[in-house]
Amino acid sequence: MPPLALKALPFLGWRDRVDRESLRADLVAGLVAALIVLPQAVAFATLAGLPPEFGLYGAMVPAVIGALWGSSWHLMSGPTNATSLMVFATMGALAAPFSPEYIALVLTLNLMIGLLKLGFGLARLGTLVNFISHTVIVGFTAGAGVLIVGAQLSNAGGLVALPQEAAFVDAVRGVVLHSRDIDPWSALIAAVTIAAALAARRLLPRTPHLLVGIVVGSLVAWLLAREGIAHVATIGPLPSALPSWSMPSFSAGTWRTLAPIALALTLIGLTEAVSSARAVAAKSGQRLDGNQEFIGQGLANIVGAFTSCYPTSGSFNRTTANYEAGARTPLAAVFSAPMLLGIVLMVAPLAAYLPLAAMAGVLFLVAWALIDFAEMRRIVRASRVEALVLATTFFATLLLQLEFAIFLGVLVSFLVYLHRTTHPQLTPVAPDPASPRRRFAPLSQAGTPGCPQLALLRVDGSLFFGAVDHVGDELTAVRAAVPGRRDVLLVGSGINFIDVAGAELLVREARLTAETGGTLYLCNLKPTVSELLERGGFLDAIGRARVFDTKDDAIRAIYATLAAARCRVCTARIFSECATMLPDGSLRED
């Protein structure tokens, strides 16, 4: 099939996987997905400050478009917790949640996000999401979990007259100031919803536990109302209709206002989708096309903007559930849409009994799942720098506007990356006596002192313009560290890249070492590094006789140039040549 046709209609590429058996499996998986997404769609729409039908529509239309025009066999697109929270946190400052103005802005935002995702995919910028590090995602999602709790405290306490605040501090302050007005029955329903969902997850692991929690919480609310004990606020009836057409705004002023928000949500949405698809692809053995996934997600948002859908993305938990339910092809996601519609048409009248407190209880569970305590502990133990990135992103998510929190996390990660790349490690090494081939190991591992006449350094990192100052300072410190040690051997097996500035650094260091009476040697250079040194004439400037293919060749040649008088009284003897013969060829007498 022509590549252009596959690009325009990627679902033609997996049509050969469809047969009677796969259709049966996909139908079952589609039903499971519909049951799972029903409570999530309603809860996430509530979190986003939108009527519940926007969440349900977002679980139908984008799921079909994302499945047909994406590359993953199992990715389920639709409302997600992080995206919903970002919509509420960013758009709530521009218009009142649930208002017509707010809805119009959200639809416009969805269109902008879709165009950005589509543009990134067509421009083959699939690696763009790699700039959002894993640590940033962990910190952001943990912060998002805390924000969700803060945003839903008022619903859990029955404070429906209290405006929902996106800022965590403001949300908590509002609840504390109105603590006397908290409705204990609403709090009870939230607690019952949580307890029922947790019990279902433990005792009935194959059932959609969030749906069980909502049903139990709604039954408690209904019983309280029937007995005349309490009447708690509900979400109201759902419209029993197909997704309606909607029209985003095309005002230039609106687009300028929403541009930074759209970019932040694009990065988060693409990261969610690609990471979810990759996680399942690692199990299924599928090879993903990141650029095609960008295109599929972009088209899903664009079409969704005209069919009453708010910004959606790939859902990790629903994608995993889809795979575990036995889905074979993207038709499982396609089937889930009409199945969800059928379920909604049947239960729409019952939605009037869904308490806001039960929705809050469900979202509390979602928030708890977002905070990966084990991964946060692992990051903190592994690296202080990564812990700093984690803490910065986490607290920025709580204290700043969410789009700026994302950008700040990316900026801090980028600065950490720049620091690492501009600071190659120069590790003192020596032959390891315990190794049969006496491989070079760090001095701390080799258990031997360094040679008093020759400094051996392994370079790990690239020698480019950003690293020359650091490497130059390190070599200056090495020359001054041990009096009388003039020669330096750089083991270049860890130099992956070198530019002209890095090559000129080696020439300069060779000259400075010579001025102190020593010699700079190189060995184990990679072919790409050697080729640049050759093409630029840098090998001649350094001295071809001082560049060796292997460590053994280098040590053998350098040992012959060392001062025999110093070797005669030296007790280090770290080289095999030291054992029996002095550099001048005479035998040792001891």
Reported as a single tens digit per residue, the pLDDT across 526-578 is 999 999 999 999 999 999 999 999 998 998 899 888 888 888 888 777 887 77
Q: What is the DSSP letter of 228?
A: T
Q: Which of 3-12, 40-49, 153-162 has the lowest mean pLDDT?
A: 3-12
Helix or strand (DSSP H, E) at 548? strand 547-548
How many percent of the chain have pLDDT more than 90? Answer: 44
**CA–CA separation, 384 and 405 (whole Å):** 20
Which domains are present in the chain?
23-415 (no CATH), 425-578 (3.30.750.24)
CB 588: neighbour CB atoms within 10 A?
12
Give yes or no for a contact between 232 and 183, defined as CB atoms under 8 angstroms apart: yes
pLDDT tens per residue, range 131-180: 778 888 888 888 888 888 888 888 888 887 777 666 778 888 888 888 88
3 state SS of 585: coil
- Compute φ and ψ for 116, nearest 5 degrees: -65, -45
CA distances from 527 to 477, 492, 522 (A): 29, 11, 13
- Strand ranges for 404-447 from DSSP E: 425-431, 440-442
Give yes or no for a contact between 376 and 123, defined as CB atoms under 8 angstroms apart: no
Question: What percent of the chain is helix, strand and coil (3-state, nearest 5)?
Answer: 65, 5, 30
3 state SS of 450: coil
Question: How many Å from the N-terminal Cα to the C-terminal Cα in the chain?
Answer: 78
Mind spelling out the 3-state secondary structure of 244-311?
CCCCCCCCHHHHHHHHHHHHHHHHHHHHHHHHHHHHHHHHHCCCCCHHHHHHHHHHHHHHHHCCCCCC
**CA–CA separation, 39 and 46 (whole Å):** 11
**CA–CA separation, 366 and 370 (whole Å):** 6
Residue 121, pLDDT score: 92
**CA–CA separation, 419 and 531 (whole Å):** 27
- Of 22 and 305, the one with more pLDDT: 305
pLDDT tens per residue, range 75-91: 999 999 889 989 998 99
Sheet bearing 487-494, strands edge to edge: 440-442, 425-431, 454-460, 487-494, 520-523, 547-548
Residues 6+ apart with CB under 8 A from 112: 255, 258, 259, 262
3 state SS of 492: strand
Residues 6+ apart with CB under 8 A from 26: 327, 328, 329, 331, 332, 335
Q: What is the DSSP letter of 463?
A: B
Helix or strand (DSSP H, E) at 27? helix 20-47
Residue 590, pLDDT score: 61
Amino acid at 80: T
Is residue 241 very low, low, confident or very high in pLDDT (cuts 50, 70, 90)?
A: low
3 state SS of 587: strand
**CA–CA separation, 349 and 423 (whole Å):** 64
Alpha-carbon 125 to chain mean position: 16
**CA–CA separation, 13 and 387 (whole Å):** 43
- Compute φ and ψ for 425, nearest 5 degrees: -85, 130
Residue showing tokens 């700079």? 520
Give yes or no for a contact between 298 and 112, defined as CB atoms under 8 angstroms apart: no
Q: Which of 55-64, 113-122, 130-139, 472-481 has the lowest mean pLDDT?
A: 130-139
pLDDT tens per residue, range 270-322: 888 888 888 788 778 888 888 899 999 999 999 999 999 999 999 877 888 78
Mean pLDDT of 412-422: 88
Residue 61, pLDDT score: 94
Helix or strand (DSSP H, E) at 428? strand 425-431
Give yes or no for a contact between 282 and 274, defined as CB atoms under 8 angstroms apart: no
CA distances from 325 to 28, 206, 212, 258 (A): 7, 10, 19, 38
The upper half-sphere exposure of residue 45, i.e. CA atoms within 13 Å in the direction of its Cβ, equals 23
> What residues are paired with 496 via a beta bridge?
none
In terms of Cβ atoms closer than 10 Å to its own Cβ (0-12, 13-18, 19+), residue 230 is middle
Q: Taken in order 397, 400, 404, 409, is the CA torsion positive or negative?
A: negative
pLDDT tens per residue, range 354-368: 888 998 898 898 888
Judged against a pLDDT cut of 60, whether residue 470 lies above it is answered with yes
Mind spelling out the 3-state secondary structure of 337-367?
HHHHHHHHHHHHHHHHHCEHHHHHHHHHHHH
**CA–CA separation, 314 and 272 (whole Å):** 6
Q: What is the DSSP letter of 232?
A: -
Residue 4, pLDDT score: 66
**CA–CA separation, 38 and 24 (whole Å):** 22
How many percent of the chain have pLDDT more than 70? Answer: 95
Q: What angle do CA 284, 289, 293 make, to 5 degrees?
A: 100
pLDDT tens per residue, range 509-527: 999 999 989 999 999 999 9
Judged against a pLDDT cut of 90, whether residue 586 lies above it is answered with no
Is residue 29 very low, low, confident or very high in pLDDT (cuts 50, 70, 90)?
A: confident
CA distances from 542 to 260, 497, 514, 550 (A): 50, 18, 10, 17
Judged against a pLDDT cut of 60, whether residue 1 lies above it is answered with no
- Strand ranges for 162-203 from DSSP E: none
**CA–CA separation, 338 and 370 (whole Å):** 29
Helix or strand (DSSP H, E) at 491? strand 487-494
